[in-house]
Amino acid sequence: MPDIRTIEEHIRLVHALRNPDIYPHPVSEIQIVETHISTVLLTGHYAYKLKKPINFGFIDFSTAERRKQFCEEELRLNRRLAPNLYLDVVGIGGSLNRPVLGISEPWEFMVKMRQFDQKGLLSVLARDKRLEPRHIDAITEQMARFHSRAKSAGADEKWGDPDTVLQPVLANFAQIRPRLGSAEDISRMTRLAAWSDAEWRRLKSRFSARKQEGKVRECHGDLHLGNIALIEDKVTIFDGIEFDPTLVWIDVMSEVAFFVMDLRERGLHYLAQRFLNAYLLLSGDYDGVCVLRFYLVYRALVRAKITLIRSEQLRSSIGREEALKEYQNYILLAAYFTRPKPPALIITYGPSGSGKSRFAQALAERLGLIQVSSDIERKRLFGIPLNDRSGAERGIYSDEAHRNTYDRLAAIATDLIRYGERPIIDATFLLAGSRARFRALAEELGARFLILSCEAPTDVLRARVKARQAANNDASDADMNVLDAQLASLTPLTTEELADTVRINATAPLNQATIDIMRHRLDES
């Protein structure tokens, strides 16, 4: 019975598996897709994933028994997000040169998947500039729902403990350092290692608290565009990690950080911020932002390590050069994530229907801000589902509800600024007292304070609120009665406030000039 232990034997088996007669179904031309840990055979209707007999320390597929175990685990884990894609574990018998599929005494194993058009990979869509915000929104909704349902780590399990969090971080540096040649690369890696160590020490109690709060879960583990496909116009997330539970049982914010990092590395900064903000709005996990930068750096270094390993496997000098260039991009990105942003706090101003949420979202995406919505936090305080439209009838716009909501917004803003982020608080702020409170908060935290005034005629406000009620698809439950009360009670911006205000014509789309003004004012000392 064959026992595959070398890459050469693996290659021989792959060559034999290119024979169409082996398969119990019609086969078109067989194509090969290779990664650093597996070979995938595309047969037309089905794809077969064969694990390589490798042992990188962090991945050990060195024996047939381990490869079988991880094929079964891959099937279990990935059926959570892609049940129609992952079909079975197929055994291989016969001989190395004449393999037979599905016999009773197999000596090798493959994961059988439904094949899809590789042009549907979101990495391909991004490369061809066809990745759309709707794709990101679909991913966000899937991941927020997936994380809310995934198993949580038990108190007696090691997953999520500070030392367990540190383990893959240290392993990353240990696996990267021996592969570096230049003094500059070594020096840069030393600085990143020192920063990671200092952050881990600073965040130890946070890691423990996150676990106690149920934020350490059985996640996907490898969330990037290359592992997401558009299949029949539906976003499908696949190829989660199966080979190391340390990389699967993680803080959900580590998973979020991976996808944010991947989008940013591809230059899709506004989509990265769109995903992050939408995830936070859906999950309410603003506390997770405290560990976000730590995980952003870690995730960039994971991809840097993988590109280094891949460069060693490539036979082409051009391919190696491209992989090394990609490595440098990840290292520069990791270094960028270590740099703090100038602190700032932005609030919106305007009654219902003035487009505050739309402009806050657009500016957040373009300027790297964290959007916090009063409509959503108000519902969260009342335990009302975000898509429930009965809020106005349940007293969520009362004076007490208003005070509680603004208390919640102030608490989130305080935390975000302390975590090194710049929040934009999407609320009406029609009363001078609420604006003064947030100005004082910014001064206390040493943050730049700005007001985004969204201005539209009253007839436009009424038409928008009426249309929004009819559409019944917005987080806001404000109706005409709420709007009338707002217009009757609002206090205009003072001369002092206008000095810190950027005014927007809310009847027109956001323009580049406004974005540039906001960016300049945020970066003013």
Summarised one tens digit per residue, pLDDT across range 147-197 is 999 999 999 999 999 999 999 999 999 999 999 989 999 999 999 999 999
pLDDT bucket at 419, cuts 50 / 70 / 90: very high
Q: How far is residue 192 CA from its own chain's centroid?
A: 22
Distances (CA, A) of 322 to 26, 184, 333: 37, 19, 17
3-state helix, strand, coil in the chain (%, to 5): 55, 15, 30
Q: What is the mean pLDDT of residues 394-403?
A: 85
Strands 448-455 and 108-114: unpaired
Quote the CA–CA distance of 88 and 114 in Å, as a whole number.
Answer: 10
Sequence-ordered alpha helix ranges (H) in 227-291: 252-265, 269-283
Closest listed residue to residue 159, CA positions, set 87, 221, 82: 221
Could you tell me which residue, 323 or 89, shows the higher pLDDT?
89
pLDDT bucket at 54, cuts 50 / 70 / 90: very high
**Contact predicate 45/114, CB 8 Å:** yes
Note the pTM of the prediction, 2 decimals: 0.92
pLDDT reading at 223 higher than 60: yes
pLDDT reading at 61 higher than 60: yes
CATH architecture, domain defined by 7-115:
2-Layer Sandwich (3.30)
List 234's β-bridge partners, or say none. Answer: 231
- Please, which residues have CB within 8 angstroms of residue 50's CB and are 6 or more apart in sequence? 10, 13, 14, 17, 38, 39, 40, 41, 108, 110
pLDDT bucket at 473, cuts 50 / 70 / 90: low
Name the residue type at position 381: L
Is residue 285 helix, strand or coil? coil
How open is the CA angle 249-306-164, to the nearest 5 degrees? 30
Name the residue type at position 245: P
pLDDT reading at 391 higher than 60: no
pLDDT reading at 125 higher than 90: yes
DSSP state of 17: T
Region of 88 on the Ramachandran plot (φ > 0 left; ψ -120 to 50 alpha; else beta): beta
Quote the CA–CA distance of 261 and 429 in Å, as a whole number.
Answer: 33
What is the residue whose two structure tokens read 């950027």?
A: 502
**Contact predicate 435/452, CB 8 Å:** no
Q: How far is residue 505 CA from its own chain's centroid?
A: 32
What is the residue whose two structure tokens read 């590789």?
A: 118
Q: What is the pLDDT of residue 2?
A: 83
Q: What is the pLDDT of residue 478?
A: 73
Domain ranges of the chain: 7-115, 122-337, 344-522
Q: What is the mean pLDDT of residues 58-71?
A: 94
Q: What is the pLDDT of residue 72?
A: 98
Q: What is the pLDDT of residue 474?
A: 66
Quote the CA–CA distance of 465 and 200 in Å, as a whole number.
Answer: 47
**Contact predicate 461/327, CB 8 Å:** no
pLDDT reading at 122 higher than 80: yes
Q: Number of helices and strands (H, E) in the chain?
A: 18, 15
Q: What is the signed CA dihedral for 420, 426, 431, 436, rounded to 10 degrees? A: 10
Buried residues in 386-416 as b, exposed as e (16+ CB within 10 A) = eeeeebeeeebbeeebbebbbebbbebbbeb
Average pLDDT, the chain: 94
Task: Of 1-15, 331-345, 393-407, 487-501, give the lowest mean pLDDT range.
Answer: 393-407
Q: Packing angle between helix 183-212 and helix 317-337, nearest 10 degrees?
A: 50
Quote the CA–CA distance of 80 and 101 in Å, as a whole number.
Answer: 26
Q: What is the pLDDT of residue 312?
A: 85
pLDDT reading at 390 higher than 70: no
Quote the CA–CA distance of 90 and 478 in Å, as a whole number.
Answer: 56
Summarised one tens digit per residue, pLDDT across range 190-216 is 999 999 999 999 999 999 999 999 999
What single string gives the DSSP state of each residue in 453-497? EEE--HHHHHHHHHHHHHHT-SS----HHHHHHHHHH--PPPHHH
Tokens of 206: 């946070």
Strands 370-373 and 423-426: parallel
Please name the fold of domain 122-337.
Aminoglycoside 3'-phosphotransferase; Chain: A, domain 2 (3.90.1200)
Instruction: Please report which helix (H) or strand (E) contains residue 31, including its range.
Output: strand 31-34
Q: In CATH, which of 1.10.10.10, 1.10.600.10, 3.40.50.10880, 3.40.50.300 is domain 344-522?
A: 3.40.50.300
Length of the chain: 525
pLDDT bucket at 225, cuts 50 / 70 / 90: very high
**Contact predicate 173/193, CB 8 Å:** yes
Instruction: Please report which helix (H) or strand (E) contains residue 305, including its range.
Output: helix 292-313
Q: What is the largest CA-CA distance in the chain?
A: 85
Distances (CA, A) of 309 to 37, 66, 331: 10, 21, 15
